[in-house]
Structure 1
Amino acid sequence: MSENNLLLAFYGDDFTGSTDAMEALASNGYRTILFLEPPSPEMLENFKGIQCIGVPGTSRAKNPEEMEQELRPVFEALFKLRTNVIHYKTCSTFDSNPDVGSIGKAIEIALDYTEESQKTVPLFVAAPPLGRYTVFGNHFAKMYDTVYRLDRHPTMSKHPMTPMNESDLRVHLNKQFQIPKQIGLMDVVELSGAYHNVKEVYEQKLESNDGILLLDALDDIHSQTVGRLIWEKGQEGLRFVVGSSGVEYALTAEWNRQGLQATRNNNGQTKIPAANQVLVVAGSCSPITKLQIETASEEGFVGIQVSPQDIINKEELPKNLLEKAIKHIQNGKSVILYTAQGPEDPAIDETRRLFDEMGIEKRESGELIGSQLGKWTLEIIKATNIRRIIAAGGDTSGFVTKELKLFALEMILQVDPGVPLCCGYSSDPIMNGIEIALKGGQMGSPDFFVKIKEA
C-alpha cells in the first residue's frame, strides 16, 4: 500500500462510468470518493480513511483538442500521488472514435506522465459482473438476457455520437492514434491455468510489446487473474492502465485475496429512508431509458417532455416547463424531465435540425443538453427542496452534476449494478447532502427509477 494509504486513483471519461467504478470499489469495502476536480492534499485530509479516489470527467464527449485541455492537469495531479495504480476509466462498451472521446488520444496524453520504465499500457475492458466480455480481442455486451457482439448490440451499434461498428477492440482503438501502435493480446487461453505460467506469459508480452496489451476475460476467474497481474506490476512501476470498471472489479478481487484492510464492514450500504419523491432528468435516448420512463410512468411518475426549442434557448429559463415540474413535486409527485423516448422519437431529428441551423456541432450537443438540464434541475431543487435526483445519460450526468456545484460524490447505496445512489458534497448548504444517482443510457433495470425512489 502507498504511504498515504491510496490504493488506486482513476479518471472516468464520463460521470456515470465513474460512479460505476466507485461502486465496484465501495461495495467491496474500500472507501472511495469522487472529486469533481483533482483534490488538494488539504481536501484529502477532510475525508479520513480514503483508500481510492476518482475524478469524473467529460472527455468521452470532447474532441481531441478539448481532451488535451481537460486531461493534462488531471494526469499531472494523479501521477504525483503515491498510489500503485492510475486508471483511465472508459465505458465498458468502449464508446469512442477518433473525433469524439478518443481513447487513443487519452493514452497519448497520459504517456507524457508515465514512468520511463512503462513501455506498455495494459488495456482491460471486460467486466463480467456487468455482462461485458472480451474473447480473442472481440468485445461482447449483455442487454437484458442476451449477449451481443459489440457491433451488433441494439444500443451501441446505433449510438448517436459514437456508434460501435467494430467489435475487435484492437482495430477500433488503433484508428484513434495519430501513429498506429502495436496492440498485443493476451487471450482467454493464455490467461487460464497455473498463475506462475500465466504471469510468465504476461511478462514476456510486456517485454516484447511497445504499445498496448489487451487482456481478455470471459469470467470472474480470468478477471481475478488480471487483477493480480496489474497489481503486482503496478508495484514495480507499471502504474498506468486503461479500461472499464472491470479494472476495479479485478483489483478488489486481488486486494481481498491479499487481505488488505478495508475501511468498511457494511459493503458500502447505509440505511437511509425512502425519498417518496424523486426528480429524474434524462438526456438519454437509449431504448433502456425509454423503458425506464415508461415503467416509472405506470407507477405514478409524471413525465414531462422537454421541447427542442427549450433546449436551444440558453438565454431564458423555460418558465412554463419549470412551473409545471415544480407544481407536480409540491403536490407530492415524482417527475421525469426527458428529451426523448427512445432512439425513434421524432424530437431527436427536430433537435438535430435546430442544432444544425444554429451551427452547433454534433459533438457539442451532449454538453448543451446536459448543461440546460442541470440549470433547470438546480432551479427545481431551490424551489421545492427535493433531495433525491436521477440523471440519465452519460454525458447528461456529467454536465448536470457540474451545474449543481457539487465538489465530491460518495456511494451510499447499491441499487442496480453500476448505478449506485450517491451522496453529493457541496459548499452550498442547499446542495450539500443531496442524494443523486447517475445512470448511463444502457444501465439499470426497467424499474430503476422506481427502485431509487423506494430505496
Structure 2
Amino acid sequence: MTDTELLLAFYGDDFTGSTDALEGLADNGVRAVLFMEPPTPDELGQFDDLDAVGVAGVSRSMTPAEMMAELPSIFERFADLDAPIVHYKVCSTFDSSPEVGSIGTAIDVAQEVFDSPFVPVSQGTEVPHGRFVAFSNLFAEQGGEMYRIDRHPTMRDHPVTPMRESDLRRHLGEQTDRPIGGVDRRFLESYTDLASAVDETAVDDEIVVLDALDSDHLARIGHLLWDRATDAQGQLFAVGSSGLEHHALVSHWDEIGLIDRTESFFEKRDPVDRIAVMSGSASAETASQIEWASDHGFQLVSIDTERLVDPDEAADARDEAVESALDALDAGESVVLYSARGPDDPAIDATRERFEAVGIDEGLESYLGREQGRIFRELLQCADLDRACVAGGDTSSHVVSQLNLLALEAVAPVAPGGPLCRVYSDEEAFDGLEIALKGGQVHTENDEFDYFGAVERGGVERDQTRRT
C-alpha cells in the first residue's frame, strides 16, 4: 500500500510470538512495525506507508485479572487505529488455561471493545510450524512426527499450560462462557461453502473455530475474514496463530492488489564481526545452539543465577557477567551469556532453591528475566555492537522491557519465527541496533544448530525461508 490506511492491527501474547507475526508480514511485502506499547499518533507519524501495526505483549503469562487490567486500554487504542481486522496473535500450540494466558478472557475483553460480529479462531499454519486443525482438533508436528496436541511430547506436559484437550472448542470453553462452534474441513474446499458455513454457524455461536489443513484452506480463510471485515460496521476481532499473517490474509491481499508479495525489503544483511547473545532458555534446542556457538568461536559466559536472585549479591553477579562479556567482545569474539544449558542443568534447581530461601514475593522467571535484562542493557551500552540476540520467549519479553525500545521492524530472515529486527529507540545506544528474539524451539532450516551463527552472518538468503 502507499496510503496511510492500515490493513491490520495485531497484539502478540508474547514477544517472540509478536516478532513471528511481524516476520510473516515483512516476508510477504507488508510494511509493519511492532511497538512495545500502543503507539500515539505522534509515534505512528514517525513511520511512512505502514500497512500493519503490532504491539508486543506478555498476556500469555498473565492471570485473567491481570489481562482484564492490561488489555482494555490496548484494544481501545486499536479501535482508534480503525484497521479492518484486529488479530490477537497466540502461540501455534494454543498455550492457555483458565488460570494463565486465558484466550477466552482476551476474547471477553475484546468483545466489550469491538463487538465483533463473530470471533474467528484460526490455528492452522502448515509450513513452517506444522500445525493443522481437523474437526476443531489441533495437531502439531515435532521431530517429523505428527501429534494431537494433547498427546504432543512437549505440550501435554507443559509446565505452565499443559494441553489436556485437543478440541479447541472444548479447551476454549473452559475459559469463556460465550458459545463456540466450528467449521470443519468439509466446508473449506470452496469459498462459497466456507462463507455459507461460517455465516450459518455464527448465527448461534459467537466464536467459530476454523479447520485448516493446507495453504488453500488458509487462503480461503483469509478471503473470508477480509470480506467479513470490510462488510462489517466495525472491526473484526480474530484469534489465531501467525498463520493469519504468513498465509491467510497476505494471500488474499496479494490477489486483490493491496500488497505485492514479491517486494524484497526483507533480505539478508551483511555479516558482522561479533554479536552478544543473552540466553534465558532452558530448552534442549537452545542448549545445542549454545554448544554449536562454543564450537565455532563464541565465548560462553555462565551467569551466576544463584547469586543473581539474591538481592544482597545480585549487583556483584551482574558486574561479573558484564565484565566477562566485555572482555570477550574487546578481544573481537562473539559471546553468549546464559542462565542454563538445557532442562537438566543443575543451576535451574539450585537457583530456584536460593530464590525460595530469599523469600521474594515475585515469580522466579520474571525476576530472573529482569535481572538478565539489566545485564544486557549495561553490556549494550558499553559495547559498540551493531547486532545482538536474545534466546527464550519469556526472557525476550523481560530483556526488551529493559532496553527502552519504541518499536521493531523485521529486516532479515534467520529462522522461521526468529527474524532479525531493526530497533527504533530514543536512546542512541540502542537506536539502529539489529536484534533477533528467538523462542526456545526456534531453529534454522538446516541440520546444524547454528542459529546464533546465522544471526552473526546477517541471516539467510530470503528464498530459504520464503513462504508462498
TM-score interval, normalised by the smaller of the two chains: over 0.9
Equivalent residue number for residue 140 of structure 1: 139
Establish whether residue 196 from structure 1 lines up as the match of residue 192 from structure 2. Answer: yes
The one-letter amino acid paired with 2:125 is: A
SS in 1 for 2:405: coil
Distance in 2 separating the partners of 1:291 and 1:8:
37
Q: 1:274 to 1:2 in 2, by over 3 A?
A: closer
**Paired AA for residue 258 in structure 2:** L
> What is the RMSD computed on CA atoms of the aligned residues?
2.0
1:191·1:198 contact (CA, 8 Å) conserved in 2? yes
Tell me if structure 2 keeps the 8 A contact 1:2–1:84: no
Deviates more, 1:168-177 or 1:182-191: 168-177
Q: Distance in 1 between matches of 2:389 and 2:110?
A: 32
1:2–1:268 CA distance, 2 compared to 1 (3 A):
closer
In 2, the alpha carbon distance for the partners of 1:451 and 1:83 equals 35
Check if 1:49 corresponds to 2:52.
no
Residue 248 of structure 1 corresponds to: 245
Q: Does 1:276 align with 2:279?
A: no
Equivalent position of 2:465 in the other structure: none
The normalised TM-score by structure 1 is: 0.93
Deviates more, 1:271-280 or 1:386-395: 271-280
Name which of structure 1's ranges 197-206 and 303-312 shifts more when overlaid on structure 2: 303-312
Question: Is 1:451–2:451 an aligned residue pair?
Answer: no
Q: Output the CA distance in 1 between the equivalents of 2:413 and 2:136.
A: 31
Following superposition of structure 1 onto structure 2, how do residues 67-106 of structure 1 map, counting pairs within 5 Å?
67-106=67-106
Structure 2 CA distance for partners of 1:219 and 1:317, relative to 1, 3 Å: farther
Q: Which residue of 2 aligns with 1:430?
A: 429
What is the DSSP-based 3-state SS (H/G/I as helix, E as strand, rest coil) of the residue aligned with 1:419? Answer: coil
After the TM superposition, which of the residue ranges 439-448 and 6-15 deviates more from structure 2? 439-448
Corresponding position of 1:152 = 151
Q: Distance in 1 between matches of 2:425 and 2:350?
A: 36
Paired residues of 2:306 and 2:350 also in contact (CA < 8 A)? no
Distance 1:191 1:13 in 2: 28
Deviation readout 1:40-99 (Å, 9 max, x if unpaired): 122212100100000001111222222222212111100121211001111111112222
What do the CA deviations read for 1:265-290 (whole angstroms, capped 9, x no partner)?
54332453212212111111122212
Cα distance in 2, alignment partners of residues 268 and 2 from structure 1: 15
Q: Answer yes or no: is the 8 Å Cα contact 1:88–1:242 preserved in 2.
A: yes
Partner deviation per Cα, 1:224-252 (whole Å, 9 max, x = no partner): 11111111111122510011111112100
Give the drift of 1:208: 2.5
Within a 5 Å distance, the mapping from 1:285-434 to structure 2 comes to 285-314=282-311, 316-318=315-317, 319-359=319-359, 364-434=363-433
> Given the superposition, is the C-alpha separation of residues 376 and 336 from structure 1 closer, same or farther in structure 2, using an over 3 Å criterion?
same
| Normalised TM-score (structure 2) | 0.90
Q: Could you say which residue in structure 2 is the equivalent of 1:32?
A: 32
Find the residue that maps to 1:410 and give its secondary structure: strand
In structure 2, the partner of 1:108 is 108
**Which residue does 2:464 correspond to in 1?**
none
User: 2:119 matched to which residue of 1?
Assistant: 121
- SS at structure 2 position matched to 1:268: coil
The runs of 5 or more residues in structure 1 that have no matched partner are none
Q: Deviations over 1:405-424 (max 9, x none)?
A: 11100011011112110000
> Counterpart of 1:321 in 2: which secondary structure?
helix
